[in-house]
Structures are given as structure tokens and as C-alpha cells.
Amino acid sequence: MFKFVFYRLLQAIPVLLILSIITFVLCRVAPGNAFLDERAVPPSVMKKIEEANGLDKPLPVQYFVTMSSLLAGDLPAIKNLGRTVNELIAETFPYSFELGLIALVIALLLGIPLGVFAAVRRNTLADYGSMSVAMFGICLPTFVLGPMLVLVFAVGFGWFNPLGWEEPSDRVLPCLTLGTYYAAYIARLTRGGMLEVLNQDFVRTARAKGVPPVTLIVRHTLKGGLLPVVSYLGPAFARIISGSFVIETIFFIPGLGRFFVTSAFNRDYNMIMGTVLFYATLLVILNLVVDVIQVLLNPRLKFQ
């Protein structure tokens, strides 16, 4: 297992390297640059600005400078004067992480029971009903669900603050909004996975032996039925904790999500590099964790 983890981490290095080159080239190919403002700047001044920021050097040199200062932690964020990319990510990530983590827990607590329930009652009204609920969760864009929850529970009943991230109760609405989509998706995956397992012979044997239905589900089939959910959780966890621009905008949460959008809008090359590589590293690590968990759950798989 340690060998497996070691080799996978070794493989991740070229992946991240190529990714950083692609991102770098993409940023430089896009028209406009981070220093363009609404005010027109004389070409001579523009040239000075570009020189000061090293933009006149050949691209490979620029790439090398950017990467080495990113790794050293002193890459300046162009649009946030005096701050470094690493500082900004370290400052905003905890908010997104907390939001994402709670949302994912909600999603699992709602999604798995719903999926199991639908699978057990396959092709009945209960199945169609719970899958329709799940489908609604998938169809409803977060920027509709969020304001709707605010309107009902914050403005209408006055139970929560409509926005902000100070009191514990401020977590409820954003996490619920974010979690709903994932809950719906997890419910569908759980149903599919459970159906696969429930059709197998050992389940019939267990039933024939007289294993009570609840024990059968919890002890015998849940582990196998949740395999698709586990493989989905890798990328989903990376995405959910790296922040959601829509939710952070609606609820005024100072998280990481907004940088994924604003940095691209502002052509803040350095910030783009930082966020892309941060997200990619998360993704690589979490996919690895998921692969390990899958082997531990499924005795038929082996570390290769």
C-alpha cells in the first residue's frame, strides 16, 4: 500500500507540472492583461509597468520566476496590492473548507438514506417519489435555491440572518443550499449502487437464512452499495471545499470560491496560477485517498 501511494504521488508531479504550463500559456494567450484599467495608459507607461513586473522577459523565464516564487510563497497577487497569493488562499480557504465540509456532511446524511430507501422499494411509488425529490435538487440552480431559502427562513420566519458568516446559525442556510445538490446526486448514486448489490446471490442467501431486513442492509449490502458514492466523493470533496462562487456571493462569505472567478475576470495571472494549482493538488490528493479507501472497502481490488 505504501508503495502504491508513493508511486501515485510520483505520478502526480508531471501532471501538476504540465497543468501549470497549460494554465500559464492560457493566461498569456488571452487578450488583455492585469494592468489594463478603465483609464487609458500611454504606451510608454505601459511598457514601464510591464518591465517592472517582468513581463518583457521571455515566456519560459517568466514561467520559471512565477513557479519558483509560488513555491516559495511570495508570489504577489496583482489585484490585491501588498498581498501574496499564498496569503490570500491561506486566509480564505478555511471559510470555504468549513462551508464545504458541513455541506458535504448534510449531503451524505440526506442522500444515502434516501438512495437506500429508493433502492429497497425499487419501482414503487416511494422509489419514484424520492428520486423525483432528488431530481428537483439537481435541477434547481443554487442561485435560485439560495435566495428562496433566505426569503422563506430569514426574511419570512426571521430564524436566520440573511447573510454573513459570524454566528453558528449563519452556517445553516448556505450549507443547506450547497449541500442539496450534492445530496441529490449522492442519492441517485446510492440507489444505483445498492440495486447492483441487492441483485446478487449472497443477498438472497442472507434473506433465506432469515437475516432481518435492517441488518441485511446495514451489515451486508451498504458497504458494497456505497462504492460508487466513494469514487464520486474524491472529486466532489475537492470541488466543494475549494469554494462556490455563487453561494459565497449570495451569502457574503469571504471564501476562496470568488477567486476562481475574479482572478480570471481580472487576468490576475498569479492568482489564477495559485488557485488552479491549489485546486489540482487537492484533487490529486483526494482522488488518491478515495482509491485507497476503495481497495480497503472492496476485497476484490488490489493496490496496483
**Contacts of 2 by beta carbon, 8 Å cutoff, 6+ apart:** none
**How many positions of this chain bind another protein (CB under 8 A)?**
45
Site membership for another protein, residue 36 (CB under 8 A): no
Query: Of 187-206, which residues contact another protein (CB under 8 A)?
Result: 199
Site membership for another protein, residue 261 (CB under 8 A): yes
Nearer to another protein, 84 or 275 (CB): 275
Site membership for another protein, residue 30 (CB under 8 A): yes
Among 76, 194, 190, 82, smallest CA distance to 134 is for 190
Quick one: which of 45, 52, 59, 139 contacts another protein (CB under 8 A)?
139
**Minimal distance, residue 212 CB to another protein, in Å:** 25
Q: What are phi and psi of 239, to 5 degrees?
A: -70, -45
**Minimal distance, residue 301 CB to another protein, in Å:** 16
Q: Are residues 244 and 182 in contact, defined by beta-carbon separation less than 8 angstroms?
A: no
Site membership for another protein, residue 23 (CB under 8 A): yes
From residue 205 to residue 234, the character string flagging contacts with another protein as x (rule: CB under 8 A) and all else as - is ------------------------------
Site membership for another protein, residue 158 (CB under 8 A): no
Hey, which residues does 76 pair with through a beta bridge? 84
* Region from 44-52, 87-95, 257-265, 292-300 binding another protein, contact rule CB under 8 A: 257-265
Which residues of the chain form contacts with another protein (CB under 8 A)? Answer: 14-16, 18-19, 22-23, 26-27, 29-32, 123, 128, 132, 135-136, 138-141, 143-144, 147-148, 151, 155, 199, 235, 242, 245-246, 260-261, 263-265, 272, 275-276, 279-280, 283-284
